[in-house]
Chains A and B, each alone.
Chain A
Amino acid sequence: MHKSLDPRVNRAALDVEQQIEPLGELDQFQTFEVFHQKKRGQQHVHVGIVHAPNANMALLYAKEQYSRRGTTANLWVCPSSCVTATEYFDEDIFETTNEKTYRDPAVYKVMDRIKAYKERQGK
């Protein structure tokens, strides 16, 4: 018998010699993807997963796992099986060549023009 400093462990009378069989596939709950909204009107942002037997219980767990720090207005959950994803094999489709930086708003130097505009408005 396992002796622990924690009286709860001793009460549970855990048999450490016993072999634990891994769970079969259907013994595991499915996972739900959790989306968290900070304030009304803002986007829901993906924050992680929870295991649960159904969506209602997934919401219960999502609340405890993902909304205990900071503010929360709303949570979504949806079964992970509903997600269709790209293949990592195809990751190269996201690559952008250097010649196309003109598409990136950061390359435009406009602050001086914005400042000039604001000054005109100020007058």
Chain B
Amino acid sequence: MDFFNEAHVDAAKELLYKMADDQLIIGHRNSEWTGFGPLLEEDIAFSSMAQDKIGQSEHLYGLLHELGEAEPDTVAFTRNAPQFHCCHLVELPIGEYDFSLIRHFLFDMAEAIRFEMLANSTYEGLAQIARKYKGEIKYHTMHANTWVKQLGTGNEESNTRMQNSLNDSWNLALGIFEPGPHETTLKEAGIFEGEAVLKEKWLELVTPLLEKANLQIPDESTWEPFYGGRTGEHTEHLQPLLDEMTEVYSIDPTADW
């Protein structure tokens, strides 16, 4: 690690925590579809991507461990909701498949760009992870985009369902880009260009794709991002998820798996 000073370490930790927590929580949420998917092949694909997300989060928790945080398992399974830094979008229950697909689309497009931006980060450990998962995330966005296009242009019911889910998810998705306290430090150190740049790139990417899918982005005058997740303020849905996720771990935290 070639961090110049303590401020860079704090900034990197903040970035890693929100990325890893987003991935762990959306990975867990999406895994709730395992065994309930709309068709066998989709069940397998969606479950596999959920596993990918949890794998990615483990890798990022590993980086945090290098920076002095606890072991990945301890970090993932022993914190309560106020210690989590995920955005509200990933916490919500899976709902109907249309919601889960729109969330998968909006989140993974942002993740793909974030990783692309980080591929050239001065934080070499993080840049390596960003490059390593390029192909994996590319498949996730292909999957998301194919489904969104398919259902957006399917029939009236499928289009209406997707449009309603998009309307419900939009401000939640904007919450992904909640500015952090270290934006300037991250940028000056060449670690990450920042949430504002990410949001612009994301809008450029999703706007034409949603148009092609015959879906309308809500009017800009109605945009009100759900902030708070990055600083530990969460929806009522996160703690029950954590309780369920850590139920087995909590029986014996010292068990060797």
Q: Residues of A at under 8 Å CB distance from B?
A: 7-8, 12, 29, 50-54, 56-57, 60-61, 63-65, 68
Contacts and interface: CB of A to CB of B under 8 A. Distances in A.
Interface of B: 32, 35-36, 39-42, 44-45, 48, 139, 142-143, 146-147, 150, 244
Contact of B42 (A7, A8, A54, A61): A61
A29 B44 contact: no
Contacts of B244: 7
Contacts of A68: 48
B48 A60 contact: no
Chain B interface helix/strand/loop/mixed: helix
B142 A60 contact: yes
- Chain A, interface SS category: helix
Contacts of B146: 56-57, 60
A8 B32 contact: yes
A60 B143 CA distance: 6
A64 B143 CA distance: 11
A53 B150 contact: yes
A2 to B, nearest CB: 13
A65 B216 CA distance: 33
Contacts of A53: 150
A63 B139 contact: yes
B41 A12 contact: no
A29 B150 CA distance: 14
Which 5 A/B pairs are nearest by Cβ-Cβ distance? A61-B41, A64-B45, A50-B41, A8-B32, A60-B143
